[in-house]
Structure 1
């Protein structure tokens, strides 16, 4: 028997009951993801400290309202959460007593004087036998090629070393950090970037964040909205994922238009 594709175009298949169900599922996923604990976190975490965009960090440090109505697709993040959970289960089964592997270990990178100034998070994996801090990253084909040829950017490197500092604060002896890039496509060919644990990288990133916090207090952009412009954006920033990104915005108190073009 020969299979024959049913008549009709893709557009026709995306109408009617099927399209309504697809939209319902999509909206349910988005609503659930947007109300997940990580999405509602107001304190700056290790993954954000190294954000190259000072303006985004200033918005977050100020607990500034995000751009309303932005329909950001959370699917990549959901996949990442699922893979993290699977990897956690894998290592927990290999070491049920937690003698060698610390899985999703909650660490304090810096204990601040206030809740907002404290930096804490969960390290994906720590191997006591080798003193290695692991961080899982789920990535697409294009990004994976870039990481293979250029290595990870500063934000990922900073995050790895911040978790290293957190492990050190917890009484462990980290020696290396490893970022494991797992491909989002169907072929399992990961790339692993490894470096010595560098406490100075973590401390410099924390000092930068503190400087941004101090500048927010000094400039008080809440009362002086024009002063948001004094917090620079950065060409390396991924504006499309920023919750304060508002293309075309001329009022930075309402949202940021994105990377500032320089001549």
Structure 2
């Protein structure tokens, strides 16, 4: 509010001052004043600035405008959120379609490899299902890990494309020289898979699915926890699936026979006991 300053130069009458005081008391309840001093004289002029009702009306108008702006902003934000949700839904659908196509391509590639290696048809598909079950038993929930395990199981032998067919399909045991060539499928496979953007975890599985926890595996001779749990999962599933399938140099073993061999010869060497126990739970 403005302040009232009165300079009275023309009267010092006590009665006049009392009357002025009484009048000002009444008027000041509803009117604000400012003082303007003229250049020609020093007489005070009362200039009404703004009434209380004017202030209230302006405040009400301002609040009304703010409410309208808020409603407009909310409507605009709601429209933006709806548009954003539509875009998110479209992206999710596109991603799902892309993942399904990728899986089809990967499955087709895995089958193409198995056609070359006639003894392992269907091997990778069975491995992928069992590997995912084992991962879930171990409490692995990260989508990136689960996808890597699935694709890694399907493509673990993709490097066999670079191995001669006479070695892949030899009806007897491989010679030392032939086995050294066979080992290279892990290296070849990693080179193929690592070229795919975002597939580092899959490439790790493809390269290390023949590593053993005691350091006796290949191609890098990794020891214990140096081998990722993803590669360890695919490794133990690969061993079991291979033992229970026909091979050019032997007949398929029963589930019980395969588990007995794994228990007696491989626990603590190829894989840890904790992983073995989790694997047994999955098979029950």
Higher helix content, 1 or 2: 2
Higher-Rg structure is 2
Higher strand content, 1 or 2: 1
Q: TM-score, normalised by structure 2?
A: 0.26
Q: Which has the higher contact order (CA 8 A, sep 6+)?
A: 1
